[in-house]
Structure 1
Amino acid sequence: MKKENITIYDIAKEANVSPATVSRVLTGNAKVRPQTMRKIVDVIEKYNFRPNSLARSLLHKQSKTIGFILPDINHPFFSTLVQKSEAHALELGYTSFLCNTMNSSENESKYLQSLVEKQVDGIIYLGGRINDTDTEQKYADEMKKVMERIPVVFVNGQMTGVDAHIVRTDEESGIEKLVELLVNLNHKKIGFLGGIEGISSTDVKTNTFVKMMNNKGLDVNKDWVFGNGFSIESGEEVAAQLLYLKERPTAVICVNDFVAIGVIKVLTKFGLKVPDDVSVVGFDDIYLAEHFPPGITTVSQNYDLLGETAINVLADLINERDAERETVVPTSLILRDSCKLLSE
């Protein structure tokens, strides 16, 4: 049988059961003996069977549940975005499963399979493998197999070879705004700290930083562009390295607000004042950015709009309505007190 032409009657024939029994398995409306269910499920999985719209309308009641897969619930970017997204999903009548992978690809695969088995209506995917600049083929194949069964929306990520619907913030524009701000404050010696090479958010931000510096006719000092993570601790580490340099930048752009907090902590510990001695800016506008002294100038990811847009796109896919293949949400500059105007 050709995979694309499979019907519940073909499933029933191969499993040696009635179409009504297949229907009961798909809808979960009546008990089916475990041995019989296993036979039917094996055939369904063999062909990656997904009923067409007519069959679904007759046979399949939506579960009205969606899944969130994210790498680290402790990170304010992910927790805030899920909170905003989940609130909007509830307004549309969807409840949620939250899958925290703890930065493990193995856990990502487990959760993907679990959400398929739970028959969620759709999946919002945040971070993890969709943030790898180079996609591993096995993960691309796994994702495509899942997407044959369930709609998936990527947020701030993509996978090579996977034709997914993507909702993302305009990170390039955010970095452009930060460079423009610092240049307008007469800074010419600007560094970029934090992140990990090979992670798309780092690569996009670093490349945009270099491009903007070149456009402004400013040199990019490679000694001022480095990082080893996204945490406060990694920010402390890069700031410590900065202290040992013979020449230091007058301003640094950090890959996110956590790194900016770590940088400010170490600079302050060793007697440097922010912004009097060094201007420090972040990215994301997490809730701590406003309250961590002196108040961090940063870029807002527009969590409300980003979460609402991702849920709306997923709901459109679930209900087989047309949806934009890629939606870009604007970022905005948030001015606080961590930058200083230099005298010319």
Structure 2
Amino acid sequence: MGRERVSIYRIAKEAGVSPATVSRVLTHNANVSDEKRIKVEELIQKYGFSPNAMARGLSSTQSKIIGLLVPDIRNPFYANLAVECERAASERGYILLLSNSMNNMNLEEYHLQKMFEQRVDALILMGGKVDELVSDEAYVEKMNQIADTTPVVITGKLDGSDCYQVNIDEAQAMDILMEYLISNGHRNICIMGGRKDVNSTYAKRVRYRSSLRKYGIPFREEYMVETQGYSVESGLKAMDELFASNMELPSAVIAINDFTALGIVQSIRQHSYRIPEDISVASFDNTFIADSCTPRLTDMGYNYDKFGDTLVDTAIAALEGKKPLKLQLIPPELVIRESCRSIEQ
């Protein structure tokens, strides 16, 4: 990724036209205004865009393949979103090429390099490096080199990058969930799971504290529990440790995701407490786990089909030179089920 690569995307971006317009100039199609043709021809001359390079660029526009990189497709959040992206791509005449990094940053960069070399039309990245709270400078530079020729859409953030962002509105999600629990009489609310150096977790933790302050509820450090993972095991271990501490039990626990929630539910049952009679449990992501758990989980979900449509539409719009918004937010949706109860005042 270190060497400069010039394609019709780079030419189109600098000329302020679509890749199709560059193609028409290269094939001497008369259906191009003189102003646009002159801009494109000047850039072709500037970069020494050869006939061979032109052939590679033109074949790239016809591949109709969008690369999708996820940390682990076994996570139902990524599985749901990947399926919706594939549906959206298929409806628009594209094929989705899926790769898993298995939460390995070196493998993530390897897959990115391979997709880039295969000249996919666009790239969609979920999780991994784009979820880090502090963006890695070297990684940002690599992504910018890719973005020079290939549109990149991420579900996270890369400070200083040329990527397009389609994100869940994490702040609104936490605000809605906290308002729901507090309006139902809960004051001792624990947020459990995740690492504070992960952007989505950090955003939730910040809004959790803001909601407590808004409603005049004292913040308790012991009720904001960090874990190294986002798994069933990490939720089970964290809740076990809370029970072992002999501190005052919260009336409600918010899990960082559905896997963590499942571990929390297991721990509560193993300690002979009832849900929601003794402890209410809520979660994020609203995957199949939430609906199959007993009791079913109250959950902050997202419109996955809209999410998938927006990711794919953004990639295609950028590919066609239409300049989509750099940042778009997917609104959350609260699904109320049986795992939370109202506390009488």
TM-score bucket of the superposed structures, by smaller chain: 0.7 to 0.9
Secondary structure at the counterpart of residue 238 of structure 2? helix
The 3 A distance-change label for structure 1 pair 106 and 6 is farther
Conservation of the 8 A alpha-carbon contact between 2:60 and 2:121: no
| Counterpart residue number, 1:204 | 203
| Counterpart residue number, 2:291 | 290
Conservation of the 8 A alpha-carbon contact between 1:70 and 1:78: yes
Report which stretch shifted further, 71-80 or 319-328: 319-328
| Counterpart residue number, 1:278 | 279
Report which stretch shifted further, 192-201 or 166-175: 166-175
| Counterpart residue number, 1:69 | 69
2:148 counterpart letter in structure 1: E
Q: Distance in 1 between matches of 2:308 and 2:60?
A: 27
| Counterpart residue number, 1:98 | 98
Q: Distance in 1 between matches of 2:62 and 2:109?
A: 23
Q: Distance in 1 between matches of 2:135 and 2:189?
A: 32
| Counterpart residue number, 1:266 | 267
Secondary structure at the counterpart of residue 168 of structure 1? strand
1:325 Cα deviation (Å)?
A: 1.3
Q: Distance in 2 between matches of 1:227 and 1:158?
A: 21
The 3 A distance-change label for structure 1 pair 61 and 305 is closer
Q: Give 5+ residue unaligned stretches, structure 1.
A: 13-18, 28-55
> What are the within-5 Å matches in structure 2 for residues 1-344 of structure 1?
7=44, 11=48, 19-24=50-55, 26=56, 56=58, 61-155=61-155, 157-228=156-227, 229-244=229-244, 245-344=246-345
The 3 A distance-change label for structure 1 pair 61 and 307 is closer
1:89 counterpart letter in structure 2: A
Q: Deviation string for 1:129-173 (max 9, x for gaps)? A: 011001111111111111111000112x01111132111111111
- Identity within the alignment, %: 29
1:9 Cα deviation (Å)?
A: 8.7
2:207 counterpart letter in structure 1: T
Q: Distance in 2 between matches of 1:135 and 1:60?
A: 30
1:343 Cα deviation (Å)?
A: 2.1
The 3 A distance-change label for structure 1 pair 224 and 71 is same
| Counterpart residue number, 1:43 | none
Secondary structure at the counterpart of residue 111 of structure 1? helix
1:74 counterpart letter in structure 2: R
Give the TM-score taking structure 2 as reference length.
Answer: 0.84
Conservation of the 8 A alpha-carbon contact between 1:123 and 1:152: yes
1:20 Cα deviation (Å)?
A: 3.6
Q: Distance in 2 between matches of 1:327 and 1:23?
A: 33
Q: Give 5+ residue unaligned stretches, structure 2.
A: 7-13, 15-41
| Counterpart residue number, 2:32 | none
Secondary structure at the counterpart of residue 282 of structure 1? strand
Q: Distance in 2 between matches of 1:323 and 1:97?
A: 22
Q: Distance in 2 between matches of 1:20 and 1:333?
A: 55
1:21 Cα deviation (Å)?
A: 3.8
The 3 A distance-change label for structure 1 pair 342 and 116 is same
1:63 counterpart letter in structure 2: S
1:175 counterpart letter in structure 2: M
The 3 A distance-change label for structure 1 pair 21 and 342 is closer
CA RMSD of aligned residues (A): 1.9
Q: Distance in 2 between matches of 1:130 and 1:184?
A: 34
1:60 Cα deviation (Å)?
A: 5.4
Q: Distance in 2 between matches of 1:60 and 1:252?
A: 49
1:10 Cα deviation (Å)?
A: 5.4
Conservation of the 8 A alpha-carbon contact between 1:167 and 1:309: yes
Q: Deviation string for 1:151-202 (max 9, x for gaps)? A: 00112x0111113211111111111111111111111111110011100011
Q: Deviation string for 1:246-275 (max 9, x for gaps)? A: 211111111111111110111101101010
Conservation of the 8 A alpha-carbon contact between 2:133 and 2:198: yes
